[in-house]
Chains A and B, each alone.
Chain A
Amino acid sequence: MIKLTKVTKEYPPRGRALSDVSFHIRKGEFAFLTGHSGSGKSTTLRLIHMAERPSSGEVRVLGFSSELATGRDIWKLRRRVGFVFQDFRLLPGRTALENVAFALEVTGSPRRERIPRANHLLEEVGLSTKSEMSVDVLSGGERQRVAIARALVNEPLVLLADEPTGNLDERAARGVMELFLELNARGTSLLMATHELTLVRSQPDARVLELDEGRLVYDSELVREESA
């Protein structure tokens, strides 16, 4: 589903963000991507979203290869891969409903289906009572739920999350985690970048990938295979 093969990403002239990273995430997996600040977590997620291309190696996502993907493939891919950020990246001055409906509109959803569907998605993330409120007045946890609802508009097979709980307090963070687990239970693969180890430890069954200075230094799957 997501497969990185010997991926290196360089930002000349400053140096390497990723060196020779390989891993494979299967359908339905829940994986954490951990590591210190600057270890290359965000870079990895951007490569998977094909916002950038690797300097060498290959990124394969849902059958699309970073070596071959055209502009058309990239927008198809992005409708299948949702993305959530630490800083939410909502459109300010618009309501929760408008933010979700905007994503539906720009990906070509029929006009009369947009509002009902956006409402349904907000309900799924537990925000149905606040759909008409401007995102500017929502709390951090609520904004992140709007962002997650937006990431779900095209029923993605994969959800990428870059420090989604970074700006949230513990309770709101737990709420977002529960939402992710629920989505994962329904079959969505999840790859979540975070440096909060308590969060990682709270999910002992999840896959853990650890980066250090651009190298993959730990993969729980490989460790499990070795000990078996």
Chain B
Amino acid sequence: MHALREALAAIRRAPFLTVLSAGMVALALFVVGLFTVVTYNLHQALTRVEERVEVVAYVRDDVRPEELAALEAELVGMEEVRAVHFVSREDALLAAREDLSEFEDLFTGLDENPLPASFEVELHPGFRSPESVARVAEVASIYPFVEAVAYGRDWVDRLHLLRQIGAIGTTVLGVAFGVVAALIIATAVRIAIFARRDEIYIMRLVGATNGFIRRPFLLEGFLTGLAGGLLATGLTYAAYFAVYRLVFPIEWIPIEWALGGVMTGGLFGILASAIAVRRYLQEV
């Protein structure tokens, strides 16, 4: 109670300082927010592309039905595999005609169907990495009646790399700007402590506990961080909205992420203040 009253009083005493530091924290966190939105959208886009990652095993025309069943059973039994669809030669031709309508003549002129039958293997999310895809492909290719296995190795690899770059980039930038935000809060709290050093001195002189002295500053740091986090969320949303309206539709990050970001701002505020106060309380 005392702590809350003191923290609010401190903000009232120096509103400019509070607004300034909350604003600077907001700018630092805004950068983090922008990167989060970009990464999230990249992630979503990659996930959509990855949906289409599948392994196709082409089988010879003379394969016996029991052999097909054995392959299907083994594929279905793999933990990576979500579903296995059998595409007969006729289905393949129909699909080709539909997909490639420009080449209609090419297919109609034929008296024999040139396309092989195949298994289209869908993978579970989380099993679309180069390693998982290769594992499934290998299992299929062991069967002698499997003529070829296709899964677009290059772009599976590239997709994976892109995702990793995105994750690392966001982590590095997030940490860097998070540290910047914490430093700003620590500086603001140190200024606040300096402004009240006489009071702190008297408190220590008459025997106030360290916790009692510390609490208002921790709370002030928390409120500054929280305000900075909220402001940053607002700014990020504005930027998102502008892009959405004026450039192209992107997705807004999940609400839990935004809330998590704001709370992280608050926690950073407490942490930064704790470090700033600690040093002061150690000097007698």
Contact = CB atoms under 8 A, between A and B. Distances in A.
Same complex: yes
11 contacts: A51-B284, A74-B207, A78-B207, A79-B206, A83-B205, A89-B202, A106-B203, A106-B213, A107-B208, A108-B208, A153-B206
Interface of A: 51-52, 71-72, 74-79, 83, 89, 91-92, 102-103, 105-108, 150-151, 153-154
Contacts of A76: 207
A91 B202 contact: yes
B284 A106 contact: no
Interface of B: 2, 198-199, 201-210, 212-213, 284
Task: Please report whether the interface of chain A is mostly helix, strand, loop or mixed according to DSSP.
Answer: helix
A78 B205 contact: yes
Given A52-B284, A105-B2, A108-B212, A91 B198 contact: yes
A113 B204 CA distance: 21
A51 B212 CA distance: 18
A80 to B, nearest CB: 8
Top-5 shortest CB links A-B? A78-B207, A106-B208, A79-B207, A103-B206, A75-B207
A51 B202 CA distance: 13
Contacts of A72: 209
A79 B205 CA distance: 9
A103 B284 contact: no
A103 B212 CA distance: 12
Given A75-B207, A75-B208, A154-B207, A102 B2 contact: no
A150 B208 CA distance: 13
Nearest to B207: A78
A4 B234 CA distance: 62
A74 B198 CA distance: 19
A149 to B, nearest CB: 12
B280 to A, nearest CB: 14
Contacts of B210: 71, 75
Nearest to A108: B212
Given A78-B206, A91-B199, 4 more contacts: A71-B210, A77-B207, A106-B206, A150-B206
Nearest to B199: A91
Nearest to B210: A71
A89 B2 contact: no
